[in-house]
Amino acid sequence: MALKITDECINCDVCEPACPNRAITMGAEYYEINPDRCTECVGHFDEPQCAALCPVACIPKDESRPETREQLLAKYRRLQEIN
């Protein structure tokens, strides 16, 4: 499943450059994750880099977008073809 950034975000700028899929951008008030680009770093790393680096732990899984590891890997492959 994709990750999301909650309103507890302090805009520390750590997550955006860590995202290998360029899924994180600055929103109106705090950073946001594009769920169509988020693979939880499957295909790149063993754990989501944004969540691992976040100093306030405001990047949980988005329970409204369940995805299996296989689905995340397929999304990763599709993104690699586009980029």
CATH number of the domain residue 46 falls in = 3.30.70.20
Output the CA torsion sign for 64, 37, 33, 18: positive
Give the span between the Cα atoms of 40 and 48, in whole angstroms: 5
In a domain, 8, yes or no: no
- pLDDT exceeds 90 at position 82: no
In a domain, 3, yes or no: no
The pLDDT of residue 83 is: 63
Amino acid of residue 16: E
Query: pTM of the full predicted structure?
Result: 0.92
Residues in the chain: 83
The domain of 57 spans 15-82
Query: What is the rounded end-to-end Cα distance, in angstroms, of the chain?
Result: 21
Number of domains present in the structure of the chain: 1
- pLDDT exceeds 80 at position 8: yes
Once rounded to an integer, what is the mean pLDDT over residues 60-69?
95
Q: How far is CA 54 from CA 18, 67, 77, in A?
A: 10, 22, 26
